[in-house]
Each structure stands twice: as structure tokens, then as C-alpha cells.
Amino acid sequence: MTSANPPDQGAGDAAGHPMDRPALLAALRARVARGAHLPPTLPLCAAIDQGLPGGGLARAAAHEVLAADPGAAAGFCAMLLARAARPLEGTPLGAVVWIAAEPEAWPPGLARFGLSPADLVLVRAPHPDDGLWAMEESLRCPGVAGALLVLPELDLTAARRLQLAAEAGGAIGLLLRPDSEAAGDSAALTRWRVGALAGAGTPLAAGRTLAEGAAHGLGDPRWQLDLLRCRGGRPQSWRVVWKPAAERLELDHAEGLEMDAAEQPGTDFVALPGSDPAAETTPGRARRRRTRFPPRHDVD
């Protein structure tokens, strides 16, 4: 873990050494060469990508994530940063910088969402100004693929500076904030709210509800994703599940499992138009058809 302390303004680095402009230019050229063949967006999953401008989440931009559940939001951010850091068959594109007053990120836990500890740099920035400085410098750095800043609030001017830094450096920037009604305006390209849903890792036994099944195992992480604001897009919502083994995000079909489990003997069925009422009351006969509903994804 490193500590963020902004250097004095000048033409050198934090130690007072003169800036090595040839080396900086060489690093910039290498950065451009590595990213020239990359798409401008990060893929999430097909259903979500279709609802985003450009078919995914823009790389060279700042995105705001409101944490309705801190663990779920951290996992979602780790997934995005992992895809930014290693977009091409595991080949590293750059480092990932995680900045907070007291970084609580646990690298082995973040690895469950595809973020390699080898790519992760934790930065302790006890003061908000230190965190903003570290975030801006990280986004402009050629060796950084993505950066995250944890902060309680952000004014519009600072958000614009971070957006400009992301556009200049090509890295994705994530602003992780608490979910509150005082979120205010933002210059970020998108604003998300991430909440947790009950886990669902194993099939349900007869007569058990989804919540009861989740109580006996951790299961795959399930999230409620709300796209609250999107430049060039519209607000939408999805319920998704993260598959750690495949490192894949999918639309969540667990609600369908709960519905199937509810359709046990003795459950009232819905009569379809044109059905025979007499057949519906015949003992021992299962002539009434069950009405199946598709899983609900809350997509506007």
C-alpha cells in the first residue's frame, strides 16, 4: 500500500528530479500501441451492453457507482477493473489503482471477481484532496488501465477534472460513493446503483423458498443493477448473477426457480381461456395447464 501526498507544483517529480520527457513520451507511445486494437468499451453482458451507447461501458471515462450494498458495489467495481486490466486473454494492459482514506479492499476477495492481486495497487489517501489528486494522476498515467476512488461526496468541478483525466489517459475511472438522496449532479458518463440480492447457488428442494435455499450456502453473487444516468442512453435496471468459475456476468434467472418451487401439489393454478371447467375439478386428473411466466429482469 502506498500513501498519496501531492508533490509541489513544478517541472519535476515528488523527489524534485527533473521530468524525463523522452521516457514519458516513450511510455505514452507504448500505451497507445497497446490500446490501439482495443474496443472503446468494456463488455458487461449482452443484455446490458445492448442498452449502453457503444455497446458497453466506455473505457476512457469516469463512471459513478452508488453503493446500496458496499460488498456488492465493490464486487461490481472489481469486475469492471479486471476487464479493463486484462482485456485480451489475460494479457495485462496496465495496473489497477484502488484509492481510499483507509482501503478495505481484500485482494483475495476481489480475485473472485477476476481482479488479479498482481494488478492491484492500494493507495491510502486520508484527506479528500489527496484522494482526488491520486485519482487524477492515476487516470493520466500510461501504465494504469483503471482506477477507483472511494469518497463520500464529490463536487461537480472535481468530477469534471476526473472525466477529463480519464479521456486524456484512456483509463476507466470509477467513483465509488454511498447511496444517498444527496448524490447531486455529476460529470461522470454514467451513474449506477448496485445492490445485493439473496444468493442462489444450488437448486431448491420442494417446498423451500429462494431465501431459505440461500441461507445454507454462499452461492453466486447476485446484484441489482440500476443505471440511473447515462449520457446518450436512458435509465434501465437489471438483475444479474456473477459466475466466478466462468468469470461471466449473466441475467439472473433465480426468480424462475422460486416460481417453479411454488408450483407444488395443492397450489392454485390459473385457468387458461378455453379450458374445460369440469376437467379442472376431476379428482386425480392433472388436466389444468400451469401458466408459466418468464423470469423478470426489470428492464425498462
The pLDDT value given to residue 104: 83
The pLDDT value given to residue 253: 77
Question: Residue 291 and residue 147: Cα distance in Å, rounded?
Answer: 48
Grid cell of 206 as nine digits: 420442494
Name the β-bridge partners of 227.
192, 236
The pLDDT value given to residue 35: 56
Cα distances (angstroms) measured from residue 15 to each of 1, 9, 18: 19, 12, 9
Q: What is the pTM of this model?
A: 0.72
Cα distances (angstroms) measured from residue 104 to each of 1, 101, 152, 172: 11, 9, 15, 21
Amino acid at 153: E
The pLDDT value given to residue 257: 47
Residues 115-146 have pLDDT tens digits of: 999 999 999 999 999 999 999 999 999 889 99
DSSP class per residue in 17-39: PBP-HHHHHHHHHHHHHHHTTS-
The pLDDT value given to residue 186: 80
Q: Which residues of the chain have pLDDT under 70?
A: 3-20, 23-24, 26-37, 88-90, 182-183, 199-218, 254-300
The pLDDT value given to residue 39: 78
| Dihedral sign (CA 124, 42, 143, 112) | positive
The pLDDT value given to residue 132: 96
Which residues are CB-neighbours of 206 under 8 A, at least 6 positions away? 261, 264
How many helices and strands (H and E) does the chain possess?
Answer: 9, 12
The pLDDT value given to residue 89: 65
